[in-house]
Amino acid sequence: MEPGGTAPRFAARRVVVKVGSSSVSGENAAQIPTLVDQLARLHRSGGEVILVSSGAIATGVPFMRLDGRPDDLATQQAAAAVGQNILVNRYQRALSVHDIVAGQVLLTANDIENPTHRGNAKRAIERLLQLGIMPIINENDTVATHEIRFGDNDRLAALVARLIGADQLVLLSDVDALYTAPPTTTGAIPIAHVAHGDELAGVEIGAARSGWGTGGAATKVQAARLAADAGTEVLLTETRLFAAVLDGEQHGTTFEAANR
């Protein structure tokens, strides 16, 4: 690992972008058009773009007049049903400005583990890309249970990247990079590059998470390694910095991919 280094390159043919709940729900739902503008830039440049978006439950809760994230599974599933519809509509409104159509794909852990379901999912995503449609993927929270979940959408995004052979995975959140210790720790510094196989010895990886998201730094590192092992380069950065990264600025942490 090394602080500093070169900015990530986005000459990738196939890019998976994952965005967390805290970046696209509540007051931050206003960030969706800006995020979509950047996805459209990649799309226009000839890239195949797949969005993995969290946020269904967080989006649905206010419309159900609930005070916060529900604790019971049934209400979480109901909130996901309401929120997924609203969330995808928000994305589609923003994409329509760029004359791009979204295709919703909802997956469960069983879909990835089952060879038949996995093949069906891959074929559907590949066909959407061939047709110039942007797949928007989320876990199917309405039917998922605590026992059969991905655990977080960072892992889902990594598995999708592996499934379709993505060149680049971008993990967007409310943290700008991986740090040598939790960012609030005195003396913590950002890590610009993680070589493939680097065990990050001496790095204190926290498990902190937002009130809505289910993943912290630890899950992002695990997901990054999962994708990198399959030959996909990974960038971890903040949602608000995505545009600057596409402009060539140096932000975030890059995980080097294994040779395919």
Output the known binding site for ATP.
Answer: 18, 173-174
Radius of gyration of the chain (CA): 17
**Could you tell me which residues are annotated as the binding site for substrate?**
54, 141, 153
The first and second tokens of residue 129, run together, are: 């890309």
The first and second tokens of residue 226, run together, are: 């999962």
Length of the chain: 260
User: How many alpha carbons lie under 13 Å from residue 64 in its C-beta half-sphere?
Assistant: 21
User: How many alpha carbons lie under 13 Å from residue 91 in its C-beta half-sphere?
Assistant: 31
**For the purposes of burial, counting CB atoms within 10 Å of the CB of 229, is it exposed (0-12), middle (13-18) or buried (19 or more)?**
middle
Alpha-helical regions (H) of the chain: 21-24, 32-44, 56-63, 73-96, 109-113, 115-130, 153-164, 217-229, 242-246
**Could you tell me which residues are annotated as the binding site?**
18, 54, 141, 153, 173-174
